[in-house]
Chain A
Amino acid sequence: MKYIFKILRYDPEKDEKPHFQEFIHEPCPADTVMEAMKDIRDQQDPTLSFRYSCREAICGSCAVVINGHTTLACLQSVAALGTTEIVIEPLPNLEIQKDLYVDMDPFWEALEKIEPYIHNEGEVPENGHEIDEAEMDKIYQFISCILCACCYSACPVASRDGRYLGPAALAKLYRLVQDPRDQRDYTSWRQVNAEDGVWGCDTVFKCNDVCPKEVRPADGILALRRKIFVSELKHIFKRKP
């Protein structure tokens, strides 16, 4: 079956603004949108530029908007879209660089702000750490995050406030502070007790909806709010004479 692929194109050296280009292409029945885009590039237009790597929804390279829905191009089957007209656009909330390439720097910068690594200063235990499977289960869904930025792009708060840390970074923080190996003190992550941190979330759960890995970043944000509430209470009690 022939499909029309309307792909947003932008050549920063020539175009004043992005525009759609149409390609007629007949994908194999089981093809994903990414496979179709690769074939279009290989057969029709080698100048078409987009990020890709693993083609199996684990590397997080190829997040785009397909017929209005934010997802990974490699995860979206062409046939499952139920239409022969397929519109492909770059991620919103991030500046277009060329075609479907967006500037990911704001996303990575937000991540770095939460100090996204285990805080533990001690030596490596000789026979490893002792950790319950139940402890791992608690953070399990957040570990599935591949940092593809689907949630960041779909988040209405990140869209209107560039300072907001965004769902992926906050969910990562929750995953880390819940880890029994992490020894960070509340004072070191108290900065997220702010409007550009956990209180920025509108709780409209767009992040949960679009996550291609079935992570629910908003769960992490809400859990952080509860943790902060408890920690602040402790803080207040400590300050009493």
Chain B
Amino acid sequence: MLSHDILIVGGGLAGLAAALESDPNLKVAVISKVHPLRSHSVAAQGGINAPLGNHPDGADDSWEKHTFDTIKGSDYLADQSAAELMCRSAASAIYELEHMGVPFSRFPGRVIAQRPFGGAGFPRTCYAADRTGQVILHTQFEQSLKKNVKFYDEWLVTDLLIHNDRCLGVVAYDLKSGEILPLKARAVIFATGGYGRVFLRSTNAFINLGSGLGMAYRAGVPLKDMEFVQFHPTSMFGKNILITEGARGEGGYLLNNQGKRFMEDYAPSAMELAPRDIVARAIQTEIDNGRGFEDQYVHLDLRHLGKEKIDKRLPSIRDICINFGGFSPIEAPIPIQPAQHYSMGGIDVDETCASPVPGFFAAGECACISVHGANRLGGNSLLDAVVFGSIVGKTASEYVKGSQEFPDSESYILQKSLNRKQELEDKAKQDSGENVFQLLNRLKAFMSDKVGIFRNQKDLSEALEQIAQLRQDFKKSYIRSSCLRYCQEFVTFSEFDSMLDIAEVITLGALNRTETRGSHFRTDFDKRNDAEWLKHTLMTQKEAKPEINYREVEIGKYQPVERKY
């Protein structure tokens, strides 16, 4: 049986950071359903936050100020010591990335360039033009080759194996051979990213189905704060491709159909650089009140920045507009609308990235520590992935060195993989039923419709009913492919099961949270309610049903006050 000390699931920023920081004397492997360079981290554009103070307006910046901005941005739902840990680690994390070879853009003083981002008191977002995720991921991958990290490319993990309150390994589907195999591990790290494609309108890669979260949930690990879904203000209308916050950081304007910079009505001092929850709601409000275009979008205008700045600082945005919209942002405004972008919630882990289950860890977007609370600031997700990716590598290494090999786990692991194989074969033998791709399309449509930026009890309840209906229909689904090599149909089939759980946890959490906080806006409870809701939602699967618990938010130096920008 394949066996590792540490098995890292996911090859994006958090997963590779974990691989690079794991003890090199341990047997470590990264297992990913795509080649690591195809991970969604590659699409991050605008940058990564660290209070380096390289910008002329950033001289007074500090990690304390970064921490405060992060907590205020989170609408006070972040655990304050976790946010502090991330921000304290930011500068050294950036210098380490630079040393590994990340080609950051530079300022004239030969230092790393920084730009302003939303919700930040100072320009502290380090960037490489507008392809920051790409250069960091490629650099981490290069370092992984240098360190001879073992990769299982194009292996989809289908089950997380937890038995008698202990993590034993995973079951995985090797796309190349079509086999389903057990992998034993003394520690498993999930760095599986987000679930964006639970929604129809999402900036995420098509592969972001989010099954990591669902696997953890089905194995009995709690999911935390899943109702907090970030909708990015600026996705290109039509394809919902991300248009970086850096476009506004460089000075772009948001304009309604009257040519007005409407952010002055919502965030008069921060304007376009208010946090994402506020800007996304402002845009949607303008559209809903007839001040958009075609009742679908508003304009993001970069024309006044000029060709030189756009070519130099936003070349990918220029190319995205030309290639996917057929226009140049140098000559025309960009039609934009909000779209699902990020999950603040995730697998419940502590500051060391340990889950409540011994031997199971998580980092990056799939984890919730929580540093982002109810709303993440732009530029903090890459930082989260890099900082906590490194931390989880160390934590898991320490855990393995201090733990005993679990005896007699192999028969359990083998049985679980045989069960999964049997299910696949049964579904492939069936010759009629529902097509899983069609079921997925149905799920996405009502999640965007009913569990979006503005929520209310009626919509959320209807969404829960539709999820229940989809569960019934999913039981009738089948796999038409007879060849199980490179079978995308099986990948989607396996992940869809998880997506139904994720959709339910998001929706139920949103229905229960009768307040408005950060990204979670209830039109029927439109005020923040600290007296009752300054707490994390924890959802655990018990006998195939979600059980809800709550946990107090850890408040440190910063008492919650009203957020104004």
Contacts and interface: CB of A to CB of B under 8 A. Distances in A.
A101 interface: yes
Contacts of B489: 46-47
Nearest to A59: B38
A176 B139 CA distance: 11
Interface stretch (A16-24, A128-136, A190-198): A128-136
A163 B138 CA distance: 24
A48 to B, nearest CB: 8
A179 to B, nearest CB: 7
Contacts of A12: 483, 485
B103 A179 contact: yes
A43 B440 CA distance: 12
A53 B98 contact: no
B105 interface: yes
B419 interface: no
Nearest to A38: B206
B43 A54 contact: yes
B35 interface: yes
Contacts of B103: 136, 139-140, 143, 179
Interface in A69-119: 75, 97-99, 101, 104, 108, 112, 115-118
A143 B102 CA distance: 10
Contacts, number: 166
B142 interface: yes
A117 B43 contact: no
Interface stretch (B106-114, B372-380, B525-533): B106-114
B320 A46 contact: no
A166 interface: no
B34 A130 contact: no
Given A59-B43, A133-B105, A136-B105, A53 B111 contact: no
B483 A54 contact: no
A47 B492 CA distance: 12
Which of B42, B52, B104, B316 has the most CB atoms of chain A within a 10 A radius of its CB? B42
A130 B142 CA distance: 22
Nearest to B480: A46
Nearest to A139: B103
B131 interface: yes
Given A41-B488, A99-B486, A54 B99 contact: no
B481 interface: yes
Contacts of B139: 118
B332 interface: no
A42 B443 CA distance: 14
Which of A43, A47, A108 has the most CB atoms of chain B within a 10 A radius of its CB? A47
B523 to A, nearest CB: 32
Interface in B310-358: 316, 319-320, 323-324, 326
Contacts of A146: 37, 42, 134
A185 interface: no
A118 B488 contact: no
A231 interface: no
Given A54-B40, A98-B483, A130 B205 contact: no
B143 A124 contact: no
19 contacts: A11-B483, A13-B485, A47-B482, A47-B489, A50-B488, A53-B206, A54-B205, A58-B43, A60-B38, A98-B483, A108-B35, A116-B145, A117-B100, A117-B142, A118-B101, A124-B92, A128-B95, A129-B98, A136-B105
Interface of A: 11-14, 30, 32, 38, 41-43, 45-61, 75, 97-99, 101, 104, 108, 112, 115-118, 120, 124-133, 136, 139-140, 143-144, 146-147, 176, 179, 181-182
Top 5 closest pairs, chain A to chain B, by CB: A118-B101, A117-B142, A42-B437, A130-B110, A133-B106
Given A52-B206, A53-B34, A61-B38, 17 more contacts: A12-B485, A13-B482, A13-B483, A46-B437, A47-B480, A48-B488, A53-B207, A54-B40, A54-B206, A116-B145, A117-B100, A117-B142, A117-B145, A124-B96, A125-B99, A128-B112, A136-B106
